[in-house]
Chain A
Amino acid sequence: MVGAPQEGQRSKGSTYFRLNLSAFLDIPAPTMADPFDSALDLLRRLNPKDTAQHLQNIIQIAPDLAEDLLSSVDQPLTVKRCKKTGRDYLICDYNRDGDSYRSPWSNEFDPPLDEGGAGGVGAGGSEGAGEGAVPGERVRKLEIKANEAFDVYRELYYEGGVSSVYFWNTDDGFAGVVLMKKSSTPGGTNQGVWDSIHVFEARERGRTTNYQLTSTVILQLSSSTNSLGDLDLSGNMTRQIEQDLPVDNDENHIVNIGRLVEDMELKMRNLLQEVYFGKAKDIVGDLRSTKLLSKDRAERDLQRELISGIGK
């Protein structure tokens, strides 16, 4: 079964922490890098718009890396409609069991997991089938709360789009993923799609909980007009944060996770703005000057003369 993260599988969080740890401990880089790290490096270089295709290609030539890569590499999210509630939800590796996906609104898998069964998974879960993907009773309650809260968040910040939250139990608490997707109205000359993927682990330690959050935003923008030609500005950025926060009751978890995600998205939105529109424009300006370079030089020379003149 390839489903939600299990014991021994590299989750998004642990991958990045593993990389950070070796940098922190100042371990010298081996002459031959780990194939997994090389695959990630390759995906960081090739056109991010085609990450899904590149990922498939890497898996074809290095099948051993399939499971680790599929659970580590973020791809644009797909929207599915919940058959029971009629509401849209987002699918990813964390609500998947084989070819079935669990709706956060109904808690049922589509297509149903058990052949001939009633469909979905009962409160007790069913042994083996998607055990990692179906949270226990307490965590499912939290998951329902989180979906309600982030639905409000989505409306306030995105004014549209789709959100989904999936939780699962871990040995020392629980973990989850908060997903957001918004696409611009089709048909215009400018197009855009935003995908947010926030993966967190909550380690419960008595009155405080340790939260580790790894957030990725995938932002694809394009424009096509006669005067501009074709422009594609696509990519993804990832950031991490770790915090210990007090927890008195389960509602505090929603508040803590909500704030962490909200602060992170604000930070990342500012970062994306800076990189996509500031940095990219500056680099183009470094390649070709909008002004005559000789004029630039002449102005600088003149300035130097004036300054040295004042000095005399």
Chain B
Amino acid sequence: MSSDTGILSSFVEGAPPGELDDVINDIRNLLVSTSISDLGDAFQRYNEEQFVTAKLPGSSQHVIISSHSSLGDGRYYDIETSSSFAFDHETQKASGVQSHVLESEQADLVKSTLKSLAQYAKDYFPNAVYGVYPIEDHSKIAVILVANKYSPKNFWNGRWRSFYTYDPSSGTLEGAIKVDVHYYEDGNVRLLTTKPVTASIPSGTGSSILREITTAEKKYQDELNKGFTTLSEGTFKSLRRQLPITRQKIEWEKVAGYRLGQDIGGGSSRR
């Protein structure tokens, strides 16, 4: 029973972007005795780890779920809207919105970083949700951005996640960019990437933090695009040729009649 819960939790936490409901349906249909409601911890870990977003009721604003914006007891807060809300980890719905005013010695840095982050998101992400939160007893700030695009009708979904912490006392920015793409038309193809980022920003203002993040993410996307080309033209090509070195398809009549070691397909294939 408990090992079943462990397995089912691993399925939940392995759900591709935007496909948690499909994974839950599959689990239900496997007719296991473990109930979906026993997987609450896995749902919470998935939602917080993936920076799942929720629409605040009565508003068009989307907010991030993360351990860094958790108030405990299933409630989370958002600084841009100065609100807190309850979040159902299984249905991924927000409710019970209340006013929440930030009180922190990092309040100024949080707000200026948030303002620069909003501009950066607008500049480069067609659809991003983001947040900045004081963490570790208000000694650091967390900067989070998530961009999703779901196209289940075309059998693909994608997610870009950025997470950084900035320590004002040391001027250090640390974090990682993660990309997760799933393509599943008559197959199952997954791109998963992690790029660690570190930088030193002594004059730790919101705009200087975002200048660093912008540079790092631009550089990363360029590297990633180069990586696709390298893999395609190097590794992929060396695994299997598109055509034999003779540039002709095989003459199967000859192959079927001949023994190995003789010339096939008009030229020698032996190195």
Residues of A at the B interface (CB closer than 8 Å) are 32-35, 37-39, 41-51, 54, 57-58, 60-62, 145, 148-149, 151-153, 155-159, 182-184, 190-194, 219, 221, 223, 227-239, 251, 254-255, 258-259, 262, 265-266, 269-270, 272-273, 275-277, 279-281, 283-284, 286-290, 292-294
Query: Are B241 and A157 in contact (CB-based, < 8 A)?
Result: yes
CB of B239 to closest CB in A, whole Å: 4
Residues of A close to B148: CB separation below 8 A: 287
Residues of A close to B107: CB separation below 8 A: none
Query: Are B158 and A236 in contact (CB-based, < 8 A)?
Result: no
Task: Mark interface residues in B15-33 (1 if CB within 8 Å of A CB, else 0).
Answer: 1100100110111011110
CB of A31 to closest CB in B, whole Å: 10
A-B contact pairs, 14 of them (CB 8 A): A42-B27, A45-B22, A60-B7, A148-B255, A152-B255, A192-B239, A229-B177, A229-B195, A230-B194, A254-B255, A262-B250, A262-B252, A280-B189, A286-B126
Query: Are B186 and A237 in contact (CB-based, < 8 A)?
Result: yes
Which of A43, A54, A277, A286 is the one whose CB lies under 8 Å from B229? Answer: A277
Query: Are A290 and B221 in contact (CB-based, < 8 A)?
Result: yes
Residues of B close to A238: CB separation below 8 A: 186-187
Query: Are A228 and B181 in contact (CB-based, < 8 A)?
Result: no
Query: Are A279 and B231 in contact (CB-based, < 8 A)?
Result: no
Distance, CA A279 to CA B241, complexed state (A): 21
Listed stretches B37-45, B65-73, B92-100, B263-271; interface member: B263-271
CB of A163 to closest CB in B, whole Å: 11
Residues of B close to A239: CB separation below 8 A: 186
Task: Mark interface residues in B187-203 (1 if CB within 8 Å of A CB, else 0).
Answer: 11111111110000000
Number of chain B residues close to chain A: CB under 8 A: 92
Distance, CA A51 to CA B189, complexed state (A): 12
Q: Which residue of B lies closest to A280 (CB)?
A: B191
CB of B185 to closest CB in A, whole Å: 8
B147 an interface residue at 8 Å Cβ cutoff?
A: yes
Residues of B close to A41: CB separation below 8 A: 22, 26
Which of A38, A277, A279 is the one whose CB lies under 8 Å from B26? Answer: A38
CB of A15 to closest CB in B, whole Å: 13
Listed stretches B48-56, B83-91, B117-125, B204-212; interface member: B117-125
Distance, CA A44 to CA B11, complexed state (A): 12
Task: Mark interface residues in B238-271 (1 if CB within 8 Å of A CB, else 0).
Answer: 1111111110011011011101100011000111
Distance, CA A294 to CA B119, complexed state (A): 11
B57 an interface residue at 8 Å Cβ cutoff?
A: no
Q: Which residue of B lies closest to A192 (CB)?
A: B235
Query: Are B124 and A283 in contact (CB-based, < 8 A)?
Result: no
B224 an interface residue at 8 Å Cβ cutoff?
A: yes
Q: Which residue of B lies closest to A38 (CB)?
A: B29
Distance, CA A156 to CA B260, complexed state (A): 12
Residues of A close to B241: CB separation below 8 A: 156-159
Distance, CA A223 to CA B229, complexed state (A): 12
Query: Are B187 and A237 in contact (CB-based, < 8 A)?
Result: yes
Residues of A close to B242: CB separation below 8 A: 266, 269-270
Distance, CA A69 to CA B244, complexed state (A): 35
Residues of A close to B230: CB separation below 8 A: 190, 223
Which of B29, B183, B193, B196 is the one whose CB lies under 8 Å from A275? Answer: B183
B225 an interface residue at 8 Å Cβ cutoff?
A: yes
Residues of A close to B257: CB separation below 8 A: 251
Query: Are A228 and B221 in contact (CB-based, < 8 A)?
Result: no
B74 an interface residue at 8 Å Cβ cutoff?
A: no
Which of B122, B179, B255 is the one whose CB lies under 8 Å from A149? Answer: B255
CB of B152 to closest CB in A, whole Å: 11
Task: Mark interface residues in B131-161 (1 if CB within 8 Å of A CB, else 0).
Answer: 0000000000000000111000000101110
Query: Are B4 and A280 in contact (CB-based, < 8 A)?
Result: no
Known: A62-B31, A262-B250, A284-B181. A236 touches B235 (CB 8 A): no
